[in-house]
């Protein structure tokens, strides 16, 4: 992240008292009653004041909901997507069940196909990181998938990061907290992609024209689990207005779910096999070696020329076993040395804003923060040419400008000028070079160099990065500062 992104009561006592009275009554029954003084009439005991119920804050509800989601093992859902074009709505319904413990999912999609004048249904099973799909008159197919893309509760949890207020509500006869959220329009990207394919249009056009994105989420007051989510966004494709509406309802939390892949699906055709890169043996060994690394340190030098010229240094320490990473970013600003230290713990990054000294946090993905994981995934999905040089292998990675997407985004953000857009930088990108020097002895990365040329404001600009890896599998101690534990969520600012 760049410097300016800082993104049961008294029951037992009563029972004991009653038992005591019974016992005492039995004892007294065996003796002559003792003389007693005249008693004055009993005065009624005033009723105790009702304890004041404290209303939960938005932050407390969000935290309780996230905790409840994390503790959920299974659930069922029903969704309805409605896309309205030219006043004509088209609906798709999806119902399914999810086993989060075993990372299994089953769902059935249904929509009306006008050409066939009938409903078309598609079954999907997810297990072992593979999605199996079956449609009528079509053979079983399978493809790789990421669990984060399949578990709807993960999306629900992430949506809550934009929650700033709530109100009391009711949905389907149940008391609920209602959040009205303003999410990033990318939440509708999957719908945009499908629409662009069907209509032979440009998904970027739909994303650029997206507006009025809104999500409503109802959270149970009893369980703090999502009951219903409604989302809507307006956009355009080929100049024609479109409205996308999504409704998802959740039920049967933590009920037993038996999801079994049909036997006939075991012979499904792998539609991703053509995308698998058959890289040289050295690359496979490097990926295996990276997988076994427990910790490392690294230093990266980054240099940008052109209108946004500047130099930065990144000092990294990583504990891969416990998913902890420190990244200290240093640069010069107005003649003074400046630095920011980012702490990543699992999927959350913390940073202290230098002026106010306020700690901020934002959600991230561990696989995108761990530099070795990034390299491993790059080698897995990209063609690599291997040559030998002295005691090392040189991996020439045949990738494209997308690998610099984050860098381009940071440059555009730093410029603070609408003329500088990511699209301009990507469109003009050329001469992409990514090389990784790998030790012949350990098959671990020694150095990675990357460079690209593009244009900003019509002028030439370049990005070059060099990262040196060292101290593999040496002890690394990473401790989050105590003050950071009360960090404010960046999305709440």
Mean pLDDT calculated for residue range 343-362: 90
Does the pLDDT of residue 255 top 80, yes or no? yes
Cα 463 from Cα 303, distance rounded (Å): 6
- Does any domain span residue 42? no
Instruction: Examine the domain organization and report whether 202 and 151 are in the same domain.
Output: yes
Helix axes 371-381, 281-292, angle to 10 degrees: 150
pLDDT at 457: 83
Does the pLDDT of residue 53 top 80, yes or no? no
Does the pLDDT of residue 4 top 70, yes or no? no
**Distance separating the N- and C-terminal Cα atoms of the chain:** 17
Instruction: Examine the domain organization and report whether 63 and 142 are in the same domain.
Output: yes
Instruction: Examine the domain organization and report whether 254 and 281 are in the same domain.
Output: no
Domain final residue pick, 243, 270, 297: 270
pLDDT at 376: 92
Does the pLDDT of residue 456 top 70, yes or no? yes
Query: Residues of 51-75 as b/e, b for ≥16 C-beta within 10 angstroms?
Result: eeeeeeebeebbebbbebbeebebb
Domain that holds residue 390: 277-492
- Does any domain span residue 344? yes
Instruction: Examine the domain organization and report whether 234 and 334 are in the same domain.
Output: no
pLDDT at 201: 54
Does the pLDDT of residue 20 top 80, yes or no? no
> Is 421 within 8 Å of 405 (Cβ atoms)?
no
For the chain, the average pLDDT equals 82
Least confident of 198-207, 307-316, 342-351: 198-207
Does the pLDDT of residue 115 top 80, yes or no? no
Domain final residue pick, 234, 254, 270: 270
Mean pLDDT calculated for residue range 273-278: 55
pLDDT band at 14 (very low <50, low <70, confident <90, very high): very low
Q: Mean pLDDT: which of 111-125, 219-233, 360-374 is highest?
A: 219-233
Does the pLDDT of residue 195 top 90, yes or no? no
Please choose, from the candidates 186, 227, 213, the residue with its C-alpha nearest in 3D space to the C-alpha of residue 65. Answer: 227
pLDDT at 70: 95
pLDDT at 300: 96
Give the list of residues 6+ apart from residue 257 with CB closer than 8 angstroms, or none: 74, 76, 97, 98, 99, 104
Q: Which helix (H) or strand (E) holds 67?
A: helix 58-70
430 burial level (CB within 10 Å; 0-12, 13-18, 19+):
exposed
Please indicate whether residue 352 or residue 3 has the higher confidence score (pLDDT): 352
CATH number at residue 299: 2.50.20.20
pLDDT digits (tens, 9 = 90+) for 284-315: 999 999 999 999 999 999 999 998 889 999 99
pLDDT digits (tens, 9 = 90+) for 83-99: 887 778 888 899 999 99
Domain final residue pick, 270, 294, 314: 270
Please choose, from the candidates 182, 165, 198, 178, the residue with its C-alpha nearest in 3D space to the C-alpha of residue 233. Answer: 182
Least confident of 139-148, 233-242, 361-370: 233-242
Q: Is 170 helix (H, G, I), strand (E, B) or coil?
A: strand
Give the list of residues 6+ apart from residue 261 with CB closer than 8 angstroms, or none: 125, 127, 132
- Does any domain span residue 74? yes
Instruction: Examine the domain organization and report whether 321 and 238 are in the same domain.
Output: no
Instruction: Examine the domain organization and report whether 245 and 286 are in the same domain.
Output: no
Does the pLDDT of residue 80 top 70, yes or no? yes
Cα 412 from Cα 429, distance rounded (Å): 14
Instruction: Examine the domain organization and report whether 237 and 312 are in the same domain.
Output: no
Mean pLDDT calculated for residue range 195-213: 64
Number of domains in the chain: 2
Mean pLDDT calculated for residue range 398-404: 82
């Amino acid at each position: 992240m760049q410097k300016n992104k800082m993104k049961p009561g008294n029951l037992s006592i009563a029972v004991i008292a009653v038992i005591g009275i019974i016992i005492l009554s039995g004892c007294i029954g065996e003796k002559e009653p003792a003389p007693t003084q005249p008693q004055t009439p009993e005065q009624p005991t005033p009723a105790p004041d009702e304890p004041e119920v404290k209303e939960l804050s938005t932050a407390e509800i969000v935290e309780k909901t996230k905790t409840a989601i994390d503790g959920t093992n299974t659930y069922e859902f029903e969704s309805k997507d409605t896309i309205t074009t030219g006043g004509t709505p088209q609906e798709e319904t999806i119902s399914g069940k999810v086993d989060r413990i075993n990372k299994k999912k089953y769902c059935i999609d249904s929509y009306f196909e006008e050409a066939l004048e009938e409903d078309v249904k598609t079954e999907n099973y997810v297990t072992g990181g593979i999605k199996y799909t079956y449609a009528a008159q079509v053979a079983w197919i399978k493809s790789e998938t990421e669990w984060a893309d399949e578990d709807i509760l993960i999306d629900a949890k992430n949506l809550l990061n934009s929650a700033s207020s709530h109100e009391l509500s009711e949905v389907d006869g149940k008391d609920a907290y209602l959040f009205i959220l303003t999410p990033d329009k990318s939440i509708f990207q999957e719908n945009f992609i499908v629409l662009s394919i069907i209509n032979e249009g440009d998904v970027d056009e739909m994303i650029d024209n997206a507006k009025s994105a809104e999500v409503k989420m109802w959270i149970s007051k009893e369980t703090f689990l999502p009951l219903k989510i409604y989302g809507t966004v307006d956009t355009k494709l080929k100049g024609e207005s479109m409205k996308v509406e999504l409704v998802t309802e959740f039920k049967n939390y933590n009920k037993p779910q038996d999801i079994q892949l049909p036997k006939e699906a075991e012979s499904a055709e792998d539609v991703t096999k053509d995308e698998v890169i058959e890289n040289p043996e050295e690359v496979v060994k490097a990926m295996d070696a990276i997988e076994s690394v427990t910790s490392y340190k690294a230093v990266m030098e980054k240099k940008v020329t052109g209108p946004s010229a500047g130099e930065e240094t990144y000092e990294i320490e990583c504990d891969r076993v416990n998913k902890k990473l420190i990244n200290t970013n240093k640069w010069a600003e107005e003649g003074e040395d400046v630095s920011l230290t980012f702490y990543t713990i699992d999927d959350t990054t913390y940073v202290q804003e230098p002026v106010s000294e306020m700690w901020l946090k934002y959600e991230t993905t561990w696989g995108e923060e761990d530099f070795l994981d990034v390299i491993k995934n790059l080698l897995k999905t990209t063609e690599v040419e291997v040559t030998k040089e002295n005691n090392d292998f040189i991996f020439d990675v045949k990738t494209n400008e997308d690998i610099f997407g984050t860098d381009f985004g940071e440059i555009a953000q730093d410029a603070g000028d609408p003329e500088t857009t990511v699209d301009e930088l990507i469109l003009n990108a050329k001469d992409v070079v990514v090389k990784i020097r790998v030790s012949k002895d350990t098959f671990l990365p020694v150095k990675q160099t990357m460079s690209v040329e593009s244009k900003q404001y019509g002028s030439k600009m370049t990005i070059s990065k060099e990262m040196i890896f060292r101290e593999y599998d040496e002890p690394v101690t990473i401790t989050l500062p105590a003050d950071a534990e009360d960090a404010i969520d960046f999305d709440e600012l």
